[in-house]
Structure 1
Amino acid sequence: METTSQAEPQDATGGPGESGDDTGQGVPGARRAVDGFLLAQFPWYGLDEAFSGPRWLMQVGMAADGAVEHGSTGHGDEPSLRAELGHDDQRFAVVVTVASRPVRRSADGTGILEATSVSSAAWLAGSGLLSCTWPAQMERALRQDWLEQQTAIAWELADDLHGGAWSMLSLPVDGVPTDFHYRESEYGWVLAGAAHHDVHIGAYGRGMSAYGLGFAVVKDIESYA
């Protein structure tokens, strides 16, 4: 999916949810994140009320026409690549909400992009997992090659949801059992499926089992800030 990010990408020393610092414009980062989510014309999803741990916002992605297309809500530990916190110690689940958009303009306004789909949600979830779980001890010169290789694999997997890499998993969405495409890797798990309200749901996590999760519309997105 061709989108532009509402927030700057995080570096290797900070977690994707660390948005509480003040910006150069004097606007708190958490406020900026919430403002981006409030611009969306669709509801956001997160884990349902059965999850009682910390909740936090990540970032939104916007289309060439300025419309919000997707965004992520976090649950549990905020993923970090800091060396002192090993991947095995992190417990988190991130929910990606993707607006269903059958018509999307290219960045230059001259063409039409592929419609958003469950594969879009799977791709965003797969790439999101990679962004917070790549081998922190890898030499810097090799990191980009590794990330490009793994990103290409994630894209191919997202484009083949009925392939052997995926299994089916039924989880509640707003209390209704819903089928998701699900896969596991050494870095964590990824799932994707269709929801109500014309959105697609993707999710990824590590240290938290996907089998006991449930999803629900976020009633107050500002409660995540």
Structure 2
Amino acid sequence: MGDDYSQGLREFFKVNFEKKGGTIVADESFNSGDVDFRPQLSKIKASNPDVIFMPYFFKEVALSANQARDLGIKATLLGGDGWPSDQLISMGGKAVEGSYFVNHLDYADPAVQDFKTRYKAKYGKETELNGFLAHDAVLLFVEGLKKAGKANGEAIAKALEGIDVQGITGRIHISPETHNPEGKDAAIEKIVDGQYVFQEKYAAQ
């Protein structure tokens, strides 16, 4: 897919997968808005992969997963944080069973249950990933505002450099150099019987 998110994940996966001894046997792409992935999947099938990394969002994942299974592809599917959504399960069904993806948190973690309960009471629906991320984004903003001491964009941005806070999705430390979060644990999830089942935490090296 041509968006920066998917391309970034693709490149990161490719570099690190090969660095750890993996072999890329096929590398296919598609355009935003595509709904027929059979031409690319047919080429992938011919390469007989053990796993297929799908670094895009749940709608395209569900469509391509169903088409992959229709073509007889049995490879394990892998993905990133664009996967978690109720729609992935409803659209993907059995095609995504047994797949693994990286998430920002374990939804069953006792530490997040209070937030989930309060969110559902207020909005009448379960919290999806963006709800947790929005909470932590506001938390970072508030801490940056306190540290800056004034409501000024440049001052807040500067104050966020090196900041370290405990969010719902984990400990968030903002690198002064890259302005990206560093050292945050990832949650590895597996889809089992239509549910996201936590497997393990993985710390970035």
TM-score tier (shorter): under 0.3
Q: Which has the higher strand share?
A: 1
The normalised TM-score by structure 2 is 0.27
Which one has a larger percent helix, Structure 1 or Structure 2? 2
Query: How does the TM-score come out when normalised to structure 1?
Result: 0.25
**Structure of higher CA gyration radius:** 2
